[in-house]
Structure 1
Amino acid sequence: MSEKRQSIDMEEFAQKFANVYYVKLLFEKEVEIPYEELYKKLQDAFGEVDKVATSDLSSFALKAHTVDYQDVSGIPSQLMIAEMIPFDQSTIPDMVLHQCWTSENPQGLLNKCCYEIMVSDFLASGLERMERCQIIAKYIDVLLDVFPTCIALYWPHSQKLMPVEAYKNSQWYNPDFHFLDGGLNVRFFNVQDSEDMVVDTTGLFPLGIPDLQVHFHGIDHNFMIQYIYNFVSYLFVNGDIIKDGETMDGRNEHERWVCQHEDCLIAPSRVVLDVCPNEFAAGKRER
């Protein structure tokens, strides 16, 4: 497998992460948005909340979660919700369905989705990463309470389609990581005509930290998937603190695997922290 592995300019990378984070709630049938009920539940969840607008795009300002900018400080971050519109199933890439591990029948789930409500944050990119992600996760929890007929969620930034139950039943031991139930996708690929495999992530890059990638052979892929999940939790808490050439534990604390920021091997285009698993490494690496 021919690869171009180059170290990435992290200052340039840091300028590209998402300023607005959005999620799509998917429905089988049309529903009305109960704005007043949503407003009251947001107050219960976030404290003092102001209504900024109620039209085709409604917004709620979170007075307890403010952002300082160069010319002004204390700007409340906001949560937005758009009106329901028909959902175009063709906007979901085939890769999303191929890497959907939370549904036994991803295509069947998608076929049921006829309408969407897009929700997002706004003026929130200046918040601390964990704070911002916990706000988004809590917002989705509130929305699923308000919209009991929602059947699926689509997270465009992580390219993850999932049934609602998969989000509600968090797989993370730490409630602070609940965002990752939807905001992270761990993918697995077999490389054609070889014994090589790739495990990578999507969803971290929009948060301003690199996604993860390991290209390997000769080791159980289930171990590598769990390894990546554990690595994600470390990056999520600590941020992009691993420098090119530094190492992380491999299969145990005595085995060291070298890390390097690189262009990804598999779309979408993004920066990844590539992990080189020593004798299990696949592909051509120029360290």
Structure 2
Amino acid sequence: MADDNDVSRDYRVRLFYKTKPEPSKAAILDKMQVLSEGFAPRDGKRDSDRLDFRHPRFVANIGGKSVGATWSIREEEIEYPGDLTPFLPALEQSWLWDDAEQVVGDCEHQLLITDQTAANMRPIERLQMMQFLVSAVVEATACDAIYWEATEQFLDPQKFVEGLHQFGAKPWKAPGAFNVRVSRVIGYGERRDDESRDMIIDSLGLGILGWPDFQCHFRGLDWREIQQIIYENALEVFESGPKLQDGQAFTSVKATQVWKCRYEEALLGPPRKVIDIDPGIPYCAGLRYAVTAGVYVK
């Protein structure tokens, strides 16, 4: 399981707009009542400007005190409209939306949706409540782009809403719930030759909910096959929870190969626990290859 400081992080989603949004609290509440009956304003008022919410279902006793999950919506300006530099890593990993860059570059405003004190919620319920609220706000405003900060990807608002309806019984399959990132590693230290070119594929979106993500650092394998393995195992964790143990045999891309997995700190941010898949010699890479094969990596 992830450390306490990992699971307690707020879950954040940003909605981007070309024109300044005017979110209607009443409209959001009406849509949320359909999606999750009982969702209510913290101040008890439907028409106030305070966009803070609670749900009586999600309350826990912590240290003798009743603590409930809360959700907030805050309006923010994009600091440098048109400058995509802060969002380039996410745009590169936005596999579900090819036109994201053009749309995001035209946006000047944003709404930040955040949950707080939600770590005591069941992971699937926490995810689904955020999905419900994002959907309600998207449908109540003319949203142009969704930045699912927790999984570092941009989503087409219409496709997100359609996907949420399509996978209503399995919210982890809806767009945004998790992401499988593909990253290239070129060189270690002073090395910049072909033999030092590796890849890291990891999942993002499980760790913030309290489950371990997956990663594989490798060379000489088809990255698409590794991406599919990570995707399938992330889905399995969402459905059944993590079951893999340190050193356990792992199904590889070839029936004749046996890989192993172990729990480690993630190689790529954000900091979190991951289930690391070790493809063994000659496919393992980086420091693992150096240790396993006795090779000095500068």
For Structure 1 versus Structure 2, the TM-score category normalised by the shorter chain is: 0.7 to 0.9
Uncovered stretches (5+) of structure 1, i.e. residues with no partner:
1-9
Name the SS of the counterpart of 1:278 in structure 2.
coil
- The CA distance in 2 between the partners of 1:29 and 1:122, in whole Å, is 28
User: Which residue of the other structure, out of 91, 101, 106, is the alignment partner of 1:97?
Assistant: 91
Q: 1:215 to 1:32 in 2, by over 3 A?
A: same
Identity of aligned residues (%): 24
The code of the aligned residue for 1:37 comes to A
- The CA distance in 1 between the partners of 2:136 and 2:280, in whole Å, is 45
Name the SS of the counterpart of 2:285 in structure 1.
coil
User: Which residue of the other structure, out of 259, 282, 287, is the alignment partner of 2:285?
Assistant: 282
TM-score scaled to structure 2, two decimals?
A: 0.80
The structural deviation recorded for 1:254 is 6.8
Within-5 A mapping of 1:218-233: 218-233=220-235
Q: 1:81 to 1:49 in 2, by over 3 A?
A: same
- The CA distance in 1 between the partners of 2:21 and 2:243, in whole Å, is 45
The code of the aligned residue for 2:78 comes to F
User: Which residue of the other structure, out of 32, 53, 56, is the alignment partner of 1:42?
Assistant: 32
1:85 equivalenced with 2:76 (yes/no): yes
Name the SS of the counterpart of 2:65 in structure 1.
coil
User: Which residue of the other structure, out of 144, 155, 174, is the alignment partner of 1:151?
Assistant: 144
Name the SS of the counterpart of 2:175 in structure 1.
helix
User: Which residue of the other structure, out of 23, 27, 31, is the alignment partner of 2:13?
Assistant: 23
The code of the aligned residue for 1:122 comes to Q
Q: 1:277 to 1:163 in 2, by over 3 A?
A: same
* Stretch deviating more after TM superposition (54-63 or 230-239): 54-63
Number of the residue aligned with 2:204: 202
Number of the residue aligned with 2:295: none
Q: How many residues align?
A: 274
Q: What root-mean-square deviation, in Å, do the aligned CA atoms of Structure 1 and Structure 2 show? A: 2.8
Conserved? CA contact 1:68–1:126, under 8 Å: no
The code of the aligned residue for 1:138 comes to F
The code of the aligned residue for 2:225 comes to F
- The CA distance in 2 between the partners of 1:121 and 1:264, in whole Å, is 24
Uncovered stretches (5+) of structure 2, i.e. residues with no partner:
187-192, 293-298
- Consecutive aligned runs of 4 or more in structure 1 exceeding 6 Å deviation: 171-174
Higher relative contact order (CA 8 A, sep 6+): 1
Q: 1:103 to 1:45 in 2, by over 3 A?
A: closer
TM-score scaled to structure 1, two decimals?
A: 0.83
- The CA distance in 1 between the partners of 2:39 and 2:97, in whole Å, is 35
Conserved? CA contact 1:170–1:178, under 8 Å: no
Conserved? CA contact 1:257–1:277, under 8 Å: yes
The code of the aligned residue for 1:283 comes to G
1:214 equivalenced with 2:208 (yes/no): no
The code of the aligned residue for 2:91 comes to L
Name the SS of the counterpart of 1:284 in structure 2.
helix
Q: 1:173 to 1:61 in 2, by over 3 A?
A: closer
The code of the aligned residue for 1:22 comes to R
* Stretch deviating more after TM superposition (130-139 or 192-201): 192-201
- The CA distance in 1 between the partners of 2:171 and 2:28, in whole Å, is 24
Conserved? CA contact 1:24–1:155, under 8 Å: yes
- The CA distance in 2 between the partners of 1:278 and 1:46, in whole Å, is 47
